[in-house]
Chains A and B, each alone.
Chain A
Amino acid sequence: MNCGRTSRLISAYLDGELPGSEMLAIREHLRSCQRCSAEMEDIRQVKAAMARLTPVRPAADLEARLLAAVAQVETPATVRFGAWLMERLGGHLQPAAAAVGVCAVLLAISVGHLPQADHWQDPVAERITQTVKLPETPQDRAIEKLISASANPVELPGARSAIEPVFASPASISMTSAILVPVSDSAFGAR
């Protein structure tokens, strides 16, 4: 362990955020290096000072103001829709079936088949929302092959008209692969 590496890892060493072997190597280096030991002491002081900061208490009325601000916010659209669907279907279907229905509609919204709410465009929210990647199926690969061979199109009687509408966006290809299964089974059966 040299001085440069020790210097870069001193904070992680003090936080106990290194594997055991590196912790030991740094400890060994610090025993024999005064410069690195002095640097570690500096960082340790900053860490100690931060730990002793007095927690800042909010104003007495902040809780009420926060609750009032939240009360002004409309219930999230997804929650409203789920509740509405449960109300409409709850009496007739089992809850599991209703949940499947909610998931299907949400999935459709996520690939742009239905209009999106304005706040879905929020840049902060975009970073919070996680992207779901569906597993690639043999049908997906076959469709990709067809796209790449577009310069020399392959004639697929009966399948072409069913596939064409979903070529609009790559995201919709894997989402609709399940719908295409009957067509693609016959179309790619010879593969």
Chain B
Amino acid sequence: MTVVEKPGALTGSAENQQRREFEELVRRHHQQAFNVAYRIAGNRTDAEDLLQETFVRAFRFFGNYRRELPFESWLYKIMSNLWIDTLRKRPRSGPPVSLDQTLGDTDQKLDVPDPGPGPEESLIEGSLDARIQEALSSLRKEFRIAVILADIEGMSYEEIADVMKCSIGTVRSRIHRGRQAMKKKLGSLERFLNEEV
């Protein structure tokens, strides 16, 4: 059915055009953006939340988006700010508590959800992937984002500096220190890299 807009319905038309353009960008970029969100967040639930909040904020500030720049860079700028912000606001965990410890006078034990990938995910994504994700998740947030943007998204240091709002020298240092920490965590990768071929 062809919808003919009334000449007086200009407001609705401009808003709809903006929405349609944004929805197209969601369709086009959500898979790749999910992959990045997953690597940043470390699990599906947090990745989905992060991605949803990123797109919601991106739409809210769509008027600030400069069309001559890649949409992904702008999206990752929002995503990384959001993630850093989320981490900053997250309450610090208290002293470690044994999972076998009972609660008060009852026999009830702590029921702690596992934020990591479930057994099915680990199986599907393979052992090397799981180990790398674990090493990535252990990095400081700034190092993690810089390494992900460089090694998964293939962004240049200049682009990463723009996304992370820092100098190229800082990007260089974050990527290098992130990779060094990962290497320390992963140990020898030679065997893994040969096995997976």
Contacts and interface: CB of A to CB of B under 8 A. Distances in A.
A53 B26 contact: no
Most buried by A among B15, B23, B152, B193: B15
Nearest to B151: A50
Interface residues of A, number: 54
Interface of B is mostly: helix
A83 B30 contact: no
B114 interface: no
Given A43-B183, A50-B132, A70 B81 contact: no
Nearest to A58: B34
Contact of B190 (A11, A17, A45, A63): A45
B11 to A, nearest CB: 4
A57 B31 contact: yes
B26 A58 contact: no
Size category of the binding interface on chain B? 35 or more
Contacts of A78: 63
Most buried by A among B63, B64, B126: B63
Interface string B20-54: 00110011001110110011000010011001100
Contacts of B141: none
Nearest to B190: A45
Given A50-B147, A75-B15, A43 B193 contact: no
B57 A56 contact: no
A67 B20 CA distance: 10
B160 to A, nearest CB: 10
Contacts of B52: 65-66, 69
A56 B126 CA distance: 11
Nearest to B26: A66
B125 A62 contact: no
A89 B165 CA distance: 39
Nearest to B31: A58
Interface string B142-182: 00000100111000110000000100100011011001101
25 contacts: A17-B157, A49-B186, A50-B147, A56-B35, A58-B31, A62-B51, A63-B30, A66-B55, A67-B23, A67-B26, A70-B19, A73-B60, A75-B15, A79-B18, A82-B14, A83-B15, A84-B11, A86-B10, A119-B60, A123-B85, A124-B81, A124-B85, A125-B61, A128-B61, A129-B61
Interface of A: 8-12, 15, 17, 42-43, 45-59, 62-63, 65-67, 69-73, 75-76, 78-80, 82-84, 86-87, 90, 119, 122-125, 127-130
